[in-house]
Structure 1
Amino acid sequence: MDNNQIIIDLSYLREVASENTEFMVEMIDIFLDQTPGYLSSLNDAIESKNWQKIAESAHKIKPTLGFMGIESARETMAEIELNASKQEDFENIVLKYNQMQEVFKTIFIKLEEKKQELLAQDN
């Protein structure tokens, strides 16, 4: 997945928030605050090859990506979760996770930009 192709579509969040900018910013802040911890748990689970923890961590990350409208990354997390729950294709899990580490750096930057845009609109 090319980082330039990462699309963040906040239309679902906008709908849930009923266009409430303050709520949208709060949700982005929560995502930016919590997701690194989830990724760290996923990393630890992969390092210890704990199938159940890998599946649980991917499962926690997946809906937040959907909520932020980052469909491509949500699909990758779903794939990691599925492989882990079936206890198969560990190499693919590692490969996808390594790709996602770079993707998340871009996601965090782009969400921070979206947040600044929202804050600028609100003033």
Structure 2
Amino acid sequence: MFNNQDMIKEFIALYRTQTPIDFKKIEIAVIEQQFQKICDAAHHIKPTMEYIGASHIKDALQEMEMLAQENKEFSIIQNEFETLKSHFTELFMELEQYETSL
């Protein structure tokens, strides 16, 4: 895979298609203030961040999951989500640029 540009492009395209769908589940759960749904969605998407080396986003998802498990004040969860959202935006811009460069 490492030297196969077509396979790398396919992986990135799949990642850029599926991950926003999964991220939207977190966003909806935050809007609805559903602790368990936040937990489940963050837990689901967390391992995929390691696939592309986005450990800082994995850590932020872990934090979201923990805050939701502990039923922390929702303003804290919302603040964490906004930070996470900006990380996702940056990640997807970088992925798009990388995909274009291949």
Does TM-score exceed 0.5, indicating one fold? yes
Higher RCO, 1 vs 2 (CA within 8 Å, ≥6 residues apart): 1
Q: 2:39 maps to what in 1?
A: 55
2:9 paired residue number? 25
Please report the TM-score for the alignment, with normalisation by the length of structure 1.
Answer: 0.73
Asked if 1:82 corresponds to 2:70, the answer is no
AA partner of residue 27 (structure 1): F
Offset at residue 36 of structure 1 (A): 1.5
Q: 1:65 matched to which residue of 2?
A: 49
**For this pair of structures, how many residues does the alignment match?**
102
Partner of 1:5: none
Say yes or no: does 1:45 pair with 2:33.
no
TM-score of the two chains, using structure 2 as the length reference:
0.87
Q: How high is the sequence identity, in percent, across the aligned residues?
A: 26
Separation in 2 of the partners of 1:96 and 1:106? 16
Moved more, 85-94 or 70-79: 85-94
Equivalent position SS for 1:88: coil
The yes-or-no answer on 1:105 pairing with 2:85 is: no
Alpha-carbon RMSD: 1.6
Deviation at 1:105, TM superposition (A): 1.5
Cα-to-partner distance string for 1:52-82 (whole Å, 9 max, x where unaligned):
1101111122111111101111100111011
Q: Which runs of 5+ in 1 are unaligned?
A: 1-16
